[in-house]
Amino acid sequence: MGRLMRLDNLGQVANLPLDSRRTVRYLCAGSGPALMLLHTIRTQLEYFADVIPILARTYTVYAMDLPGHGGSSKPVDVQYDEPYLRRGVIDTIRELKLRDVTLVGESIGGVLALTVASQMPETVSRVVASNPYDYDTRFADGVRRGRRFANVILGGVALPVIGPFLGASEKRFVTATIMKGGFAGSTGVPDPLLDVFAATQKQSGYPYVERNVYQNWRSWGAARAQYGAVRAPRTLIYGERDWSRPSERARTAKALGEEPVVVPDAGHFIFLEQPGRMAAIIA
């Protein structure tokens, strides 16, 4: 796949206005029951490029850029916390007039899949939450546990001070290094995907978005309070080497009343490491 990943062969990409200030970019592919994919922090709908063609054999797949990410609008006078991103997902589902939708998300996308389901019981028919990022007790707890160079860059005492401001200067190398710390194997984010992320980082408003997401890190742990209201069937997935600790996984599993599926030889970014395995679990 050459430089700068293309979406032409994956599906149709469009921009969806939610109101006078908010627009989300989304991709639609395949046919069958509706399934929506929700990506991680720092990424966008291209994160699911390897799994979309597989899922599109069974589902009508919708992959959206979360508010402020990818090609979605980036207003710089809002708080990019979990409730704000949740509202963006809910409004997107309503504008697309989706029914009986399966929500699938990884990391913060996994949290959003659960919280959106808690508020849309009449619309969401199933939830798949992979490595939900709901366990930080200090800034970037998960990233601090990353392998290899991530701890060298981000594990020091300066992190609580400089962390919330990284969004103003985070570049391709930093993104690659942080995310590589979330892989179980020796690989990392593919270069074409990193090129896509780097292009987004240059967009107007994006530094504010990322900085503000970091500043609102507590909202993701607070979102666990919504899990008990999820009524749809749910599948909880963890990579064997995810950043979360056993006690944190057990806490989320208890809140959902579900035993997690553990994917061997996988870290925090399972959709990049093992897309075929994730598609099999979903389908």
Report the CATH number that the domain containing residue 28 is assigned in CATH: 3.40.50.1820
- CA dihedral sign of residues 158, 163, 167, 170: positive
Alpha-carbon distance of 75 to 215, in angstroms, equals: 16
Alpha-carbon distance of 74 to 71, in angstroms, equals: 9
Alpha-carbon distance of 40 to 133, in angstroms, equals: 9
149 in a domain, yes or no? Answer: no
Residue 261 domain boundaries: 12-136+219-282
Instruction: Return the residue matching tokens 């990353």.
Output: 146
Domain total in the chain: 1
Q: Return the exposure string of 87-124: e unless at least 16 CB atoms fall within 10 Å of the residue's CB, then b.
A: ebbbbbbeebebeebbbbbbbbbbbbbbbbbbebeebb
Nearest of 155, 160, 277 to residue 217 by alpha carbon: 160
Low-confidence stretches of the chain (pLDDT < 50) are 1-3, 149-164, 167-168
- CA dihedral sign of residues 184, 146, 140, 163: negative
Q: What pLDDT was estimated at residue 170?
A: 66
159 in a domain, yes or no? Answer: no
According to DSSP H, which parts of the chain are helical?
52-55, 82-95, 108-119, 141-144, 150-154, 159-162, 172-180, 191-201, 206-215, 218-222, 246-256, 270-273, 275-282
187 in a domain, yes or no? Answer: no
Q: What pLDDT was estimated at residue 145?
A: 80
DSSP 8-state secondary structure symbol assigned to residue 283 = -
214 in a domain, yes or no? Answer: no
49 in a domain, yes or no? Answer: yes
237 in a domain, yes or no? Answer: yes
Phi, psi of 50 (to 5 degrees): -80, -25
157 in a domain, yes or no? Answer: no
Q: What pLDDT was estimated at residue 5?
A: 65
DSSP 8-state secondary structure symbol assigned to residue 66 = P
Q: What pLDDT was estimated at residue 247?
A: 96
Cα separation values, 272 from 56, 182, 186, 240, Å: 17, 10, 13, 14
Dig out the tokens for 170 from the structure.
């985070």
pLDDT tens digit sequence for 94-149: 999 999 999 999 999 999 999 999 999 999 999 999 999 999 888 888 888 875 54
169, 202 contact by CB (below 8 A): no
Alpha-carbon distance of 268 to 133, in angstroms, equals: 9
